[in-house]
Structure 1
Amino acid sequence: MHRDGRGDGPLAYSQVPGDKTRHAPPQRPVREPGGHAPTQRPVPHDPAPPRRRPPPAGGGRQPRPPRRRRRRHPFRWLMVIVVLLIAGLIAAVVHLDNSLTRISALTSYSDRVADTPGTNWLLVGSDGRADLSEEQTQQLATGGDVGPERTDTIMLVHIPASGPTTMVSLPRDSYVSIPGHGRDKLNASFALGGAELLVQTVEVATGLRIDHYGQIGFGGFADVVDAVGGIEMCLDQPISDPLAGLDLPAGCQELSGPQALGFVRTRATPNADVDRMNHQRMFMSALLKEATSMGTVLNPFALWPMATGVAGSLKVDDGDHIWNLAALGWAMRGDTVTTTVPIGGFDNTAVGNVLLWDKSKAPDFFDALANDRQIPQDLLTR
């Protein structure tokens, strides 16, 4: 029998024998309260239930997915360390440069020597005692006030464009022309006009233009030696000089600051001033060798006290900087030609006993340096 939805029977679907298709009953309109037109109500739709992962074999709790590991960047940390080191180095250099005492030493004047090739330093050891305490005066055996400040040591250092550096001792008793004051001992120019007149006198006498100036006093000298832990010197003969507080046996030994100061000042030796200049060059070479050695440069506990000691003890020209001093030390770290100006003899004058330069050799000696050439061997004095 066939019934359809158009009949008034209770079935709202068709069913044919053998037909398994079933149709959903029609939705009857529902009249809203208040007599409004009927509306079609939507059929609620149940969302599909979430899919669950099958339980792990053997039962137990579902394991958590592994966390994502943070990638490490060792190169980034290395860059941070490098930047910090560079910043610290720059800060240290600025601090040392600001520690230098600057004075007016290189000034222009009429008929000044033209610029000469290479780099020329004038290094001066002053006998000034103004900055020494009474205890330091006794410890360093420098005596009391001896009048105007003079120079115990005067050295000319020539750094060529290529080849070894040359260090020349200029005897303080050299009889030279001092601009505006006539002829006198070389160190008198310092007493008369300070560093400016000394530089001018050296330039006129040698024909070399001075590019940099460095000056150190008694106290600063001793401090620098102690900062590097002393200087080893080898003596051919013993030296005893009560005035310099010196009593050294022959042989190799390490000199402290006060001992080193007495060593470069003493004239209680057979050749007096000549030996004194030799001692000064020996000491300067040994000091620079120690200061630029790998044991000092690579050891911050040795390098920093040495650098601060040098910077705090030196007086330099207004235009000089700590990197100029570093370049000087680096240039003298290796083999350095050490000599003195050719000496012609001594003479008694109105200003006392003076040292005369050899008129036949001194011009060629300084002309070689002025032209950035090595000094001929026959003009060198060891």
Structure 2
Amino acid sequence: MSDQPPPRSPREGGPRRPSGHRARAGGSARPVPRTRPAGSTPPAGPTPTRPLPRTPGPSPDEPVPAHGARPDAHRRGTSPDPGRSPYGAVQGIDDGGPPSGGPPRTRSSRRRSRTPRPLRLGATLVVLALVIVLAWGTGLTVWSNSRIDHVPALSGAEDTPGTTYLIAGSDRRDGEAVDEDGTTGARADTMMLLHKAPGGNSYLVSLPRDTLVEIPGYGGYKLNAAYSFGGAPLLVETVEEFTGLTVDHYVEIGFDGVSDVVDSVGHVNLCIDQDVDDEKSGLVMAEGCHDVGGEQALAFVRARYFDPTADLGRQQRQQQFVGALMERATSPSVMLNPVAQVRLAGAGSGALTTSEDTGILDVGRMALTARGAMNAGSTPTIPIEDPQYRTEHSGVAILTDDEDIAAFFAAVGDGSAETSAK
């Protein structure tokens, strides 16, 4: 009997594998590196290396990458470079981090670091500032609108091209007779028509209070009598018949409100060509230009008896006052000062009476339009036939010619009227 072990059958795994090999799953084997004794000389020939995983090459339809480029770097699960993981990070090396080590940066952390922190902070502050400004403006607008009195002033007449504002300065004298016409109570001493034509030109036209007009239902009277007879609605209707322009917005400013508005912005700069000490209006000014407060500004727009041109001279001073107030109200010292904004909004809205659909934003647009007209010299004067016309029951009035007036306001309406700047 032999001492040799019986041969193994294939079912039992076949012949014994040489030592130095380890079995793999599936029956394949790979060499196991042996440890070389210290001090021994490596065998001649190339050093065996562990084979790298094979990566699929490019398909025939894909372009060949340029020299130095990493093919298939965009594919998840490929490893174009030795030692790089299938997700693009080099194993054992901090991708983009300090060479001293540490966890590799993730893709999301690299994305977040693209925007510098100071820029992100600056953008946040800008957005926050815009929110505060919008909230402030909205709150100021709502508060101002709540303080405005509204009246059903508009007539509902057929609309005419452009935008037309009727600006009236009212004065209330309960129980006191007003001038020669015998009217009592409230009256409108100041009336101006502001029109923005479709072509862009704007005009500010003063309507002298003593202009002889036809008041619907009353006949021939001075223009200011329309307000005394029927308030804002009758005044609007009378002006529309006189000018041929439909009023879109009615804005009434109480004379006491004029004083408050001027004081809210500090002062306005007004000029006069002579020394004045008028007892009836209270205007006391030396010749030249002066910064005046609310009381003197009110006297400036009301005074007429010291001036030999009477109502016509006052008309020019009223236009000057409107321009000076708009200039001051839109100056940086007021527009950039929140405290001044609140004072102006409070004084202005509290002094205003407007037509039903006219809010503080419409008043703001009116102010900008008036300032533009003043700066452009677009303040034409209505044609007058006789400034000292004697009436039967209204005393001395300003007489106009119907045809001249119709042609004048037609030119204002379409933007072709001549101005002092042309």
The two structures have a TM-score, normalised by structure 1, of 0.72
* Letter of the 2:261 counterpart: V
2:19 is matched with none
Contact 2:301 2:318 in 1 (8 A): yes
1:58 is matched with none
Q: Map 1:358-373 onto structure 2 (within 5 A).
A: 358-370=401-413, 372-373=414-415
Contact 1:344 1:359 in 2 (8 A): no
Contact 1:230 1:256 in 2 (8 A): yes
2:383 is matched with 342
CA distance in 2, matches of 1:242, 1:296: 33
Greater relative contact order, per chain length (Cα 8 Å cut-off, separation 6+): 1
Cα shift readout 1:330-380 (whole Å, capped 9, x = no counterpart): 22333241132111113211222111113452221011123x223135xx7
| 1:165 paired to 2:208 | no
| 1:230 paired to 2:230 | no
CA distance in 1, matches of 2:129, 2:320: 41
Contact 2:140 2:345 in 1 (8 A): no
2:150 is matched with 102
Secondary structure of 1:171's counterpart equals coil
Contact 2:173 2:185 in 1 (8 A): no
How many pairs does the alignment contain? Answer: 293
- Across the aligned residues of Structure 1 and Structure 2, the Cα RMSD in angstroms comes to 2.5
Secondary structure of 2:232's counterpart equals helix
Secondary structure of 2:140's counterpart equals helix
Contact 1:292 1:333 in 2 (8 A): no
Contact 2:173 2:184 in 1 (8 A): no
Identity across matched positions, percent: 39
Cα shift readout 1:124-167 (whole Å, capped 9, x = no counterpart): 0111157xxxxxxxxxxxxxxx8321111010001123444211
2:213 is matched with 176
Counterparts in 2 of 1:366 and 1:86: CA distance versus 1, 3 Å? same
Contact 2:194 2:370 in 1 (8 A): no
Structure 1 segments, 4+ long, off by >4 Å, are 70-73
* Letter of the 2:381 counterpart: T
Shift of 1:233: 1.1
Q: Is the deviation greater in 316-325 or in 304-313?
A: 304-313
Shift of 1:120: 0.4
2:327 is matched with 289
Secondary structure of 2:127's counterpart equals helix
Contact 1:97 1:321 in 2 (8 A): yes
The gaps in structure 2 that reach 5 residues or longer are 1-102, 104-111, 175-182
CA distance in 2, matches of 1:253, 1:79: 43
1:248 is matched with 285
Contact 1:239 1:269 in 2 (8 A): no
* Letter of the 1:313 counterpart: A
Shift of 1:87: 2.1
1:302 is matched with 340
Contact 2:201 2:415 in 1 (8 A): no
1:317 is matched with 355
CA distance in 2, matches of 1:107, 1:360: 24
| 1:90 paired to 2:133 | no
Secondary structure of 2:390's counterpart equals strand
Shift of 1:115: 1.2
